[in-house]
């Protein structure tokens, strides 16, 4: 489970990683802080951590303030790991800024933009339709994970069933 360094408040931790004391941290400051906070995060994790940072940067100014940082930490504290399911769950939760349990075209367009993909509206709509299993115009976390994660190995037991 991801937690801030022991004995530090979110505000204190944020102040520690805000090296230039502007009240905001950039992606590099954030990444250095994450490496202090999570010893298992290494240089090869920079791309995924930068994507999470960029999704937390709601005003797209290249920095996050204490509110955006606290939201990112709260999402990461829900059980972030380095496995694909944890990363994609975190991406979804960061996209779902209104905590409705679903994302639409606007959020998908934002994700694609943050990933460096400039898609046309028709392409976003087509992508949404391919992921939206119940065709309600939104993508739930389950639909998102089903699309982005490989199918479960047939020899593994689903988490909601016991092995016999």
Tokens of 82: 């380095």
- Considering just the CA atoms, what is the radius of gyration of the chain in Å? 17
**Does 136 have pLDDT greater than 60?**
yes
State the DSSP code for 43: G
Q: State the DSSP H helix or E strand holding residue 37, giving kind and residue range, or none if neither.
A: helix 27-37
Cα separation, 24 vs 18, whole angstroms: 6
Q: Tell me the residue length of the chain.
A: 164
Q: Which of 73, 50, 75, 74 has its CA nearest to residue 62? A: 50
List the end-to-end C-alpha distance of the chain, in Å, as a whole number: 29
Residue 127 in contact with residue 91, Cβ under 8 Å?
no
Residue of higher predicted confidence among 47 and 159: 47
Full set of structural domains in the chain with CATH: 8-80 (1.10.238.10), 83-150 (1.10.238.10)
Mean pLDDT (whole number) for 100-112? 94
Lowest-pLDDT range of 12-21, 124-133, 142-151, 153-162 = 153-162
pLDDT score for 5: 61
pTM of this structure: 0.74
pLDDT tens column, 60-102: 999 999 999 999 988 887 777 778 888 899 999 999 999 999 9
DSSP 53-117: HHHH-TT-SSEEEHHHHHHHHHHHTTT--SSHHHHHHHHHHHH-TT-SSEE-HHHHHHHHHHTT-
Residue 29 in contact with residue 46, Cβ under 8 Å?
no
Phi first, then psi, for residue 69 (nearest 5°) are -65, -45
């Amino acid at each position: 489970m991801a937690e801030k360094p022991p004995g530090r408040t979110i505000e204190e931790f944020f102040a520690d990683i805000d090296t230039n004391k502007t009240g905001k941290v950039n992606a590099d400051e954030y990444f250095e802080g994450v490496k202090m906070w999570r010893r298992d995060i290494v240089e090869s994790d920079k791309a995924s951590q930068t994507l999470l940072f960029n999704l937390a940067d709601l005003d797209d100014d290249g920095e996050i303030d204490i509110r955006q940082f606290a939201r990112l930490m709260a999402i990461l504290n829900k059980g972030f790991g380095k496995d694909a399911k944890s990363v994609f769950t975190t991406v979804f939760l960061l996209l779902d800024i209104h905590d409705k349990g679903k994302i639409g075209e606007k959020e998908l367009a934002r994700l694609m933009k943050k990933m460096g993909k400039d898609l046309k509206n028709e392409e976003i709509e087509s992508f949404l339709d391919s992921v939206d299993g119940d065709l309600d115009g939104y993508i739930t976390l389950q639909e998102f994970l089903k699309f982005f994660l490989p199918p479960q190995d047939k020899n593994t037991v689903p988490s909601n069933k016991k092995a016999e």
